[in-house]
Amino acid sequence: MNVKLGVIIAGIFALGLFAPTAFAAPSAQIVMEKTTFSYGEKLFYTIEVSEVTGDLAIIHIRDESGKGSSAIPIEISQLRTEVPSLYPFEKEVFPEGKFFIDLQYSGAEYTAEFNLIDSGNVVIPFQTKQIAYSWVNNQVSSGILIDSIQKMVEEDAINIPYEIDRDHMEEIYIPEWMKITTIWWLEEKISDGTYANAFQNLIDRQIITI
């Protein structure tokens, strides 16, 4: 009996050694320092995982109607991954209301939510910032920048009370030193509102000639 019992125990032990081990799926979550954002602010959140598996995290951002972004892959190389947005919220792109961030990672799923509100912030569209960058680097004329501002920036932020004549756009003058202020703005050292005020001041004082 002792011999048989020993064989049985040895067999059970061997099965335990070679039987496949069931591993639990890693957990994943989104941590947000704030859940209410205004136009002009940038979305920021952190992905926290229990294990680095080598898989990408996949993010979808959607609004209450279900309309959402395409898949956004995020490389996960550590347990905490900060995800800052490159661009601020703009009215033309994001409607005011509730949004959801859906996370998928190695079989784990998680959804966070945030609210987007209009608090009256001045927001200069990204396209105008691209043109301003080109203007600073002498790649486009002052007239091109003024034309973009008039077409894309709300009048209560920067009001250009002139008709832009495309035949005379090259004659529009912005002082060279305004490029320093523009660089500060592009580097996010000053806000859109501060830059708009500086620009409007030059227009009102007719330092910018159109």
Domain ranges of the chain: 28-117, 126-204
| Distance separating alpha carbons of residues 112 and 142, to the nearest angstrom | 43
pLDDT tens track for 156-175: 888 888 777 777 788 889 99
| Distance separating alpha carbons of residues 120 and 124, to the nearest angstrom | 12
- The pTM is what? 0.75
Degrees to nearest 5, angle at CA 26 with 24 and 29: 140
What pLDDT is recorded for position 92? 86
> Which is more confident, 21 or 203?
203
Number of other residues whose CB lies within 10 A of the CB of residue 201 = 11
Using the predicted structure, report yes or no on whether residue 13 has a pLDDT greater than 60: no
Using the predicted structure, report yes or no on whether residue 98 has a pLDDT greater than 70: yes
Closest alpha carbon to 197 in 121, 118, 114, 125? 121
What CATH number labels 28-117?
2.60.40.1930
Using the predicted structure, report yes or no on whether residue 149 has a pLDDT greater than 80: yes
Q: Which of 6-10, 170-174, 194-198 has the lowest mean pLDDT?
A: 6-10
Sequence-distant contacts of 65-74: CB under 8 A, at least 24 apart: 68/102, 74/47
